[in-house]
Structure 1
Amino acid sequence: MAGKLVQTRLNRHLPIRGRIADPNDDGCTHGVYMRFQRKEDLAKFYQNPLYRKVLEEHVLPHCHDLICLDYESEVEDDILPIFRRGEAFEYGVEFLLLISVYDDAVAEDVEDAFCALVTLTEAFSFLIVQSTQGSKFSTNDGEYTHGVVIRFPSYEALEEFRESSEYADMWLKKFKPITRKSLAVYFLVDPVGAQVL
């Protein structure tokens, strides 16, 4: 049976990929997460013949659909906090949350919801290695309008965050009123190689 791949592409050349551990309504089976320094780097990546060849020969024959979301986000640019995390930055659990907000959602309500998520991740920083979020900038990204990627050091840390009353309360009060559809999946981090392309 063919699977479905969900991708978020951000600001880093090191791909993180893995088999999605939980069933989901979209039938996604694998996740890939990449970061790039600039939008121009992402555009070059898309145009690279090697990328298209790998996609056509090794991904699409085994995958009946792709869900892709390109968004821009600020990340720590100070290497010291990342260095202090050591191996925690390269291993753990990647939590991907894709959200499609209603077309008529009030912009201030959307911003308020994502600010509430930032506040919550800061409050749970003892469980979180890194968190990024943003709205899509590419018109070919399909139905999802916003993406969130949160790295946890372990599955237990992810569960503690997702099962907290604070997360449930934030989702109910801030996100549910503006969200048409969401996809929340996680996979174990499996770094691949060093620099890509």
Structure 2
Amino acid sequence: MPLRAQFLSFSQSSHFNSYFFPNSSFNVSYNQPNKPLSLTGWRNCKRNNFAISNASSSSTNGVPENVHIKKRKIMEHVFLLKAKRDLSEAEEKDMLDYLYTSQYHMSGILAISLGRVEGPNAENFTHGVYMRFQRKEDIAKFYNSAFYSRVLEEHVNPISYGSVCVDFEAEVEDDIIPIFRRGEDFNYGVECIILISALDMAPKEAIEDALYSLQHLISQYESFIVQATIGTNLNLKESEYSHAAVIRFPSREDFVFFKESKDYKDMWSLKFQPVTKKSLLVHYSVDPVGTELM
């Protein structure tokens, strides 16, 4: 069952089609810093916005009851790395700038976020990078890109000692804002990445049930979440993690509220622990990184 994400959206999905050309390069421009929405403002905003609905749907007080949301498949790429302890601020800024502005030099990248991982984690990852692609072929071209290989060789590998990549297919609402992650709602917030390594002997049904439980919980907490995607790793040769989730929260308070909730803890202990060999949860704050092409 696909996740349902609530967004400020255009009134017709056809608005997106005029912007979406498979062979074009999509560059997400930097936005000037805006004041983040408060929790109250965010929740009220989300309550008052609805996606495409069936014209025949009945409504109560102007709110459609049977909402039909058109979905589009996209590809998600997660890259976590371990930077050396003696990393300087200048080296870190240089690395993040080059990674972020890769979107301006390469076709197929629909959205990107990155930042310094906050708090300790079991794998000692220090930085996270998230990218969204249109198709599987775009990720294949990305891995074979001479430009990106040069970025890694010159600006990432010399100051890091380990990394992990996970690629998975997911679905989002078929409209400009949710697909490209554009607009004020995506300028700031917290990116949460969950990686899971399922037990080899775990029943497929139990794993699917666990993933569905996470999807269901996210739908219950959608007023505290900007967007969420979940999927199966398509790059198992490069990573031991079998599944991944990327959840964008509008604020650190919302992230903590979700992660520390009894619902999340109960779901994890009842559904995931019995089928999970290894798991990792990291998060980083999202802010514009740079404004110039590197």
TM > 0.5 between the two? yes
> Please, which of 133, 142, 163 is the counterpart of residue 36 of structure 1?
133
Q: Which residue of 2 aligns with 1:155?
A: 252
Q: Which residue of 2 aligns with 1:185?
A: 282
Q: What letter corresponds to residue 40 of structure 1 in structure 2?
A: E
Distance change in 2, residues 1:70/1:82 (3 Å): closer
List alignment gaps of at least 5 residues for structure 1.
Answer: 4-10
Q: Does 1:58 align with 2:155?
A: yes
Q: Which has the larger radius of gyration?
A: 2
Q: In the alignment, is the contact (CA less than 8 A) between 2:190 and 2:249 conserved in 1?
A: yes
Q: Does 1:2 align with 2:84?
A: yes
| TM-superposed deviation, 1:95 | 0.3
More RCO (CA 8 Å, sep 6+): 1
Q: What letter corresponds to residue 116 of structure 1 in structure 2?
A: S
Q: What letter corresponds to residue 139 of structure 1 in structure 2?
A: L
Distance change in 2, residues 1:144/1:82 (3 Å): closer
State the number of aligned residues: 187
Q: Map 1:1-197; keep pairs closer than 5 Å.
A: 2=84, 12-79=109-176, 86-191=183-288
| TM-superposed deviation, 1:76 | 1.7
Q: What letter corresponds to residue 73 of structure 1 in structure 2?
A: A
Distance change in 2, residues 1:81/1:149 (3 Å): closer
Q: What letter corresponds to residue 136 of structure 1 in structure 2?
A: N
Q: In the alignment, is the contact (CA less than 8 A) between 1:20 and 1:28 conserved in 2?
A: yes
Distance change in 2, residues 1:191/1:133 (3 Å): farther
Report the identity percentage. Answer: 51
- TM-score, L = length of structure 2: 0.60
Q: Which residue of 2 aligns with 1:8?
A: none
- TM-score, L = length of structure 1: 0.88
Q: C-alpha separation between the residues in 2 aligned to 1:56 and 1:80?
A: 33
| TM-superposed deviation, 1:82 | 7.5
Distance change in 2, residues 1:188/1:182 (3 Å): same
Distance change in 2, residues 1:191/1:134 (3 Å): farther
Q: C-alpha separation between the residues in 2 aligned to 1:101 and 1:57?
A: 34
Q: What letter corresponds to residue 111 of structure 2 in structure 1?
A: L
| TM-superposed deviation, 1:55 | 0.5
**Any idea what SS the aligned residue of 1:126 has?**
helix
**Any idea what SS the aligned residue of 1:180 has?**
strand
Q: Which residue of 2 aligns with 1:7?
A: none
List alignment gaps of at least 5 residues for structure 2.
Answer: 1-82, 86-107
| TM-superposed deviation, 1:12 | 4.4
Q: What letter corresponds to residue 175 of structure 1 in structure 2?
A: F
